[in-house]
A and B are shown apart, each in its own frame.
Chain A
Amino acid sequence: MTLYLLYETSSGYSLFQAGGLDEIGQNNEAVRNSVSDLNRFGKVVQLTAFLPFESALDALNQINSVSEGIMTDELRNFLELNLPKVKEGKKANNDFVHEILRGVRLHFERFIKDLKPGDLEKAQLGLGHSYSRAKVKFNVNRVDNMVI
């Protein structure tokens, strides 16, 4: 069985494929150990596709949807394009998947070749600012009477 993992970052969506799961087994401790070692982890988990966000505005739209648990059209297209057609897909979200996603988060920069060290932080910084600025700005319940 092949397991597909969607991983969202500030610079784009990426789809990973995890195969050969039996080798590392479902034991959490064993998974944890193979996750921290990129050589072993890279054999098990491979990047299938990466969709970079078009612009800062696009990224902001995407994160606003992701944080609310809404699937955007871009994400739907991305998944439909890259996932094989299956009769019956199973969605999984358990400790095991979580542990692999931790590994992806740890090694992400080395999966995407076009990403230079520090690029992801720059994307996080930019998106963090725009996301937070919007949160602060559009709060309708804000009571702000400064008395000086």
Chain B
Amino acid sequence: ASGRGGMRGGNKAVIIPHRHEGVFIAKSKDDALVTKSMVPGDSVYNEKRISVQNEDGAKVEYRVWNPFRSKLGAAIQEGIDNIWIAPGARVLYLGAASGTSVSHVSDIVGPTGVVYAVEFSQRSGRDLVNMAKKRANVIPIIEDARHPSKYRMLVGMVDVIFSDVAQPDQARILALNAAYFLKTGGHFVLSIKANCIDSTLPCRQSIR
């Protein structure tokens, strides 16, 4: 199986569970963050796939999660305490974009979980809808996250909200959605892009 280079090492890669349930680490030449693919044989953004054989002989496919293309992936790589996203979780994902990170969240929550993926941009929304066609646990919602009442018919109560909307009022947007859809005692993960607050400052300073 080898000889094609890259991560396609066949049985050579060893997969070990990550501290975060549903996330794995592929140990080979370089360690890589991976998730167990919901759709074996399919790459969402040309990411590499690693196929390993279980003890019972069944093949399991993992997809490499590129932390440079996903803030959530980067946060895990950098040792975030808790992502609250786990197998079986119901997730509201604000700012889903083309759905690259969403596809990994879909892998993590698995067939018993649900990802409500909200994206307003038509352009990336199209890619999102296409990605969701293959993944039955992703519900695509092309709508403005500022107006949760517009998509209230599509979303149930969720365990966790992941927000990556990069808007000046993103805390307000998150709070609005939480009031509608977040379970009492639920959690949220909010991504703040320092460059979007002030692009001229070094990032540590703009966070302050």
A residues touching B (Cβ–Cβ < 8 Å)? 8-10, 32, 35-36, 62-63, 66-68, 98, 102, 105-106, 108, 120-121, 124-125, 127-129, 131-133, 135-136, 139, 142, 144
Contacts and interface: CB of A to CB of B under 8 A. Distances in A.
B141 A131 contact: yes
Contacts of B179: 98, 102
B97 to A, nearest CB: 14
A121 B114 contact: yes
Given A35-B184, A121-B156, A128-B154, A136 B126 contact: yes
Contacts of A35: 184
Contacts of A124: 114, 116, 139, 154-156
A102 B139 CA distance: 20
Interface of B: 114, 116, 122-123, 125-126, 128-129, 132-133, 136, 139-143, 149-157, 179-181, 183-184
B130 to A, nearest CB: 10
A103 B166 CA distance: 30
B1 to A, nearest CB: 32
Contacts of A127: 153-154
A36 B184 CA distance: 8
Nearest to A128: B139
A36 B129 CA distance: 33
A132 B157 contact: no
A98 B176 CA distance: 12
B181 A67 contact: no
Nearest to B124: A136
